[in-house]
A and B are shown apart, each in its own frame.
Chain A
Amino acid sequence: MLSKIKRYIKIHINSLKYDWLAFTVYRTQAVIWGLVILLSSISGVVTISVIYNISNGINGWNYYQVLMLVGLTNMMAGMFHYFGLDGIPNKLRNGGFDQMLVKPYNPIGMLLLFRPQSPNIITILTGFGIFATSAYFLNLGVINILVILLLFFIGVATFIMFMLTLYLVFYVLTKGKSQWLRTLSLYIGGTASSYPLNIFGTTLMILFTIVLPVGLATYYPAGFVFGKISLETLLLLIIFEIISIVVYYKLSKWLLTKYTSAGG
């Protein structure tokens, strides 16, 4: 098991290396790309800065606390792109997945790990920069930071497995490009996860926790450390996350058996 994980990590790093090489072959392109990604990632910062400039803030969260949510959201969005989730329908539609299936590896592992979209590291790093800045100004200790990051990674894993399953479900049902899923997950989900979830009312809060699980990686980890989420709630959520990941994994694997290549 451990050696298997090691192999996947090794190949992932290899894939990453070549994707990055390919990205930086054209320097102008790399610079433009980087700039666009950078701009997109700081749009959340601009928004909350303006809000905190003209008002007393949101629901008792101070500026840096909300800024941390923005940072975590950026990291999550960056990972969504990094693992190439929105490219999955296309890979399946035009038969590009064939090339993966003839390699001796787990198909889900390959879908997520073998063609990383390296430029999105910029988004992840920008997000991490925002996160680190807010952690610095909030005077969070190392342990608190590690707790947030650990909870964040479990949350992101749940979100990514959820999105993978969703993409596969709609691939099986419609064979379409499912571009709307991106709108749903990143525009809607990304907006929601940049703010304390409880401002959206109970229904939407549950929605963004369980139905479209974007809050798991942002609101709850940060909220727990800021003392706004109880330990019981958090433990319940962790159990939910672990069960979700297993269920989504099994479901994805089963859905991939419905793959028809470009034939139908």
Chain B
Amino acid sequence: MSNPYLAVLKIYIKDVFAYKVDLTLSTLFNILKPLLLIFVFYAVYQFSNVSTLKGITLSSIVVYFFVVGNLDFIVAPTNIVKHMQNDIKEGSIATELIRPINYIFMPFLSVIPADIILFAFTTIPLLILLYLITGIHLNIFIIIAFAIGVLIAYLISNLLSFIIGSFSIYLVDVSGIGEGILWINEILGGGIIPIIFYPKIISNLLMLTPFPFMIFVPAGIFIGIINTNIVNILITGIVWVIILALISKIVWKRVSKDMNVVGV
């Protein structure tokens, strides 16, 4: 079978293993950062001598950051931006553009193998372990909602990355733009601060944007902070996925037209 998309996918699976040292260690350290935040919040709860902050217990926060650490593998997607930047900066976009493949899929194909491998071999086992240790309340509805939430998180964060990455054709030096997406993930998405901890106005406003769907929504569903209106929230998420996909398409169309003008 000679599907060109499959061929590309195969190459990137090889790529994952070629950098296995990098991959393993990056994976390890990704989970460590949210774990450090557990220490921070432990100290906060201790010093304030309270059992709940904004109605959230310390043990919920601990589980929250475990889940964040886990999700970060797949939803802290600097890789798409990196892929596009490399393509554009080193000029390899030219070789990718002449292939019988729509370029818009290339960055996604480049990250999917690593993400699936990480999800299957790290995220799922760790989440099961977490469930067994903490005895957190889960039912089949929450599990399905969480699964959909993770898929939405994955799509939204990668689409955002793609949109940001597209703009790198207007930049001659692009290193560091990837930090932007991480910042969105951490501050607006709930990666460092659960959205609920923000002042009410800010957290309400944020919930109207696609950003909390990157981390806060799936993690919140898993630990039970989000327990009402789950269906509505997920539908909003799906609507955001569709909107962002359309924006990506429009942006890429525009950007690829400009490519020659910019002289990439």
Bound CA–CA A176/B53 (angstroms): 44
Q: Given A57-B44, A199-B43, do A177 and B173 touch, yes or no (CB 8 Å)?
A: no
| Pairwise interchain contact A188-B48, C-beta atoms closer than 8 A | no
A183 CB contact (under 8 Å) in B30, B179, B187: B30
In the bound complex, residues from chain B placing their C-beta under 8 Å from that of A37 are 176, 179
Per-residue contact bits, chain B 164-207, to A (CB 8 Å; 1 contact, 0 not): 00010011110011011011001100001100011100000000
Q: Given A43-B187, A191-B37, do A55 and B53 touch, yes or no (CB 8 Å)?
A: yes
Q: How many B residues, CB 8 Å from partner? A: 42
Q: Given A183-B26, A187-B29, do A33 and B40 touch, yes or no (CB 8 Å)?
A: no
Least CB separation from B39: chain A residue: A200
| Pairwise interchain contact A178-B22, C-beta atoms closer than 8 A | yes
| Pairwise interchain contact B53-A54, C-beta atoms closer than 8 A | yes
Bound CA–CA A179/B48 (angstroms): 38
Q: Given A40-B179, A55-B48, do A29 and B171 touch, yes or no (CB 8 Å)?
A: yes
Q: Does A137 contact B (CB under 8 A)?
A: no
Q: Is the interface of B mostly helix, strand, loop or mixed?
A: helix
Q: Does B36 contact A (CB under 8 A)?
A: yes
What is the minimal beta-carbon distance from B174 to any residue of chain A, in angstroms? 8
Bound CA–CA A196/B21 (angstroms): 32
Per the 8 Å Cβ criterion, residues 26-44 of B in contact with A are 26, 28-30, 32-33, 36-37, 39-40, 42-44
Q: Given A32-B171, A187-B33, A191-B36, do A177 and B19 touch, yes or no (CB 8 Å)?
A: yes
Least CB separation from B24: chain A residue: A180
Q: Does B132 contact A (CB under 8 A)?
A: no
In the bound complex, residues from chain A placing their C-beta under 8 Å from that of B22 are 176-180
Per-residue contact bits, chain B 121-161, to A (CB 8 Å; 1 contact, 0 not): 00000000000000000000000000000000000000000
A176 CB contact (under 8 Å) in B19, B44, B171, B198: B19
In the bound complex, residues from chain A placing their C-beta under 8 Å from that of B186 are 43
Q: Is the interface of A mostly helix, strand, loop or mixed?
A: helix
Q: Does A229 contact B (CB under 8 A)?
A: no
| Pairwise interchain contact B176-A56, C-beta atoms closer than 8 A | no
What is the minimal beta-carbon distance from B216 to any residue of chain A, in angstroms? 13
In the bound complex, residues from chain A placing their C-beta under 8 Å from that of B49 are 56
Q: Does B7 contact A (CB under 8 A)?
A: no
| Pairwise interchain contact B199-A53, C-beta atoms closer than 8 A | yes
Least CB separation from B20: chain A residue: A176
Q: Does A1 contact B (CB under 8 A)?
A: no
A-to-B contact residues, CB < 8 Å: 22-23, 25-26, 28-29, 32-33, 36-37, 39-40, 43, 46-47, 50-51, 53-60, 81, 119, 174, 176-180, 183-184, 187-188, 191-192, 195, 199-201, 204
Q: Identify the 5 closest CB pairs spanning chains A and B, nearest first.
A: A180-B25, A199-B43, A56-B48, A55-B48, A36-B180
B-to-A contact residues, CB < 8 Å: 19, 21-22, 25-26, 28-30, 32-33, 36-37, 39-40, 42-45, 47-50, 53-54, 167, 170-173, 176-177, 179-180, 182-183, 186-187, 192-193, 197-199
